[in-house]
Amino acid sequence: MTAVAPARRQAVRLLVLLVIVAVVLYPLVWMVGTSVKSQAEIVNNVGLLPERFTPGNYTDGWTNFDVGFGRFFLNSAMVSLLTVLGNALSCLLAAYALGRLRFRLRKVWFTVMIGTLLLPGHVLIVPQYILFRSLGLVGGDWPYLPLLIPHFLATEAFFVFLMVQFMRGIPRELDEAAKIDGASPYGVFRHVILPLSRPALVTTAIFSFIWTWNDFFRQLVFLSNLDDYTVPVALTLFIDSTSQSAVGPMFAMSVLSLLPVFLFFLAFQRMLVEGINTSGLKG
């Protein structure tokens, strides 16, 4: 706005915003506070902070089940990082084809890709489970393949779309110049598109990591042995054990499970916020 609003109005606005911040942050602070409360305090003191700092919940939670949480964290990290790799690689290839190259039926495929954007994953879970199971990939020696394979085949249309949008911003003159120098479409990809797409790749990597780290539905369906569990699936074990004594450890592990996402948020805050802007609006 051009006109400078009166100072008092700004102050009221700031006050309202601070109240909203308090409401938004309360559950998070409360979660951290509860994770260091003793069992007695969890029942009697529902305030933000513990009267006595009890870090024991963290060690108790870490070893609460037959398999330690270290294992679950490793499993989650492996699934998330491989998903990042798969998405970045396969979506970039698809985006280069759809956004940059000219070939038969390109428009048709592009429309199909946009169509799959809105396709709910829950619709496909039953037949995918049956197919992967018939291939012997469910509950096998390495049960993560059903989780990973789709990501190496560019099925996350959101990222393909994001990268196509990004590539539209790369000047075509660069492609043409490379072609005059004798570069093939592969050469253009390797020497022009790949290096210039780094921002889009980073955005894709960050979102892939966070979404996979938090994902629950697919991991719940495809992982059945305790040893193979990822963090979100392992956390639900706490709900099954109805005993009150597990609440502190459950909170402690919940806090730990959100920590990587939180660190990503701190490190890439600006990029995350701008990432969702570039994804859909510039049509």
Partner 1 sequence: MALTTAPGRTARTGPAGPRRTRRGAGRARLGEGLAGYVFLSPWLIGLMGVTAIPMLLSLWLSFTDYDILTPLTEVRWVGLANYERMFTADPSYWHAVRVTLTFALVAVPLKLAAALGVALLLNRTWRGVGLFRGLFYLPSLLGGSVALAIVWVNMFNRDGAFNSFLAVFGVEGLPWVSDPDWALETLMVLAVWQFGAPMVIFLAGLKQIPTELYEAAAVDGAGTWRRFRAVTLPMLSPVIFFNLVLETIHGFQGFTAAFVLSNGTGGPVDSTLMYTLKLYISGFTDLEMGYASAMAWVFLVAIAVITAVFFSTGRFWVHYSDGEEDR
**Window 210 to 269, contacts with partner 1 (CB under 8 A):** 210, 214, 216-217, 220-221, 232-233, 235-236, 238-240, 247, 250-251, 253-255, 257-258, 261-262, 264-265, 269
Report d(CA 191, CA 179) in Å as an integer: 11
User: Under rule CB under 8 A, which residues in 14-73 are in contact with partner 1?
Assistant: 14, 16-17, 20-21, 24-28, 30-31, 34, 43, 46-47
The distance of closest approach from Cβ of residue 55 to partner 1 in the complex, given in angstroms and rounded to an integer, is: 18
One residue of 81, 93, 114, 145 binding partner 1 per CB under 8 A: 93
Report d(CA 214, CA 254) in Å as an integer: 11
Decide if residue 134 touches partner 1 (CB under 8 A): yes
Number of Cβ within a 10 Å radius of residue 89:
15
Q: Taking a C-beta distance cutoff of 8 angstroms, is the pair 187, 178 a contact?
A: yes
Q: Taking a C-beta distance cutoff of 8 angstroms, is the pair 69, 61 a contact?
A: yes
User: Under rule CB under 8 A, which residues in 153-192 are in contact with partner 1?
Assistant: 153-155, 160, 173, 176-177, 179-180, 184-186, 189
Closer to partner 1 by CB, 52 or 172: give it.
172
Query: Segment contacting partner 1 (CB under 8 A): 61-69, 75-83, 99-107, 194-202?
Result: 99-107
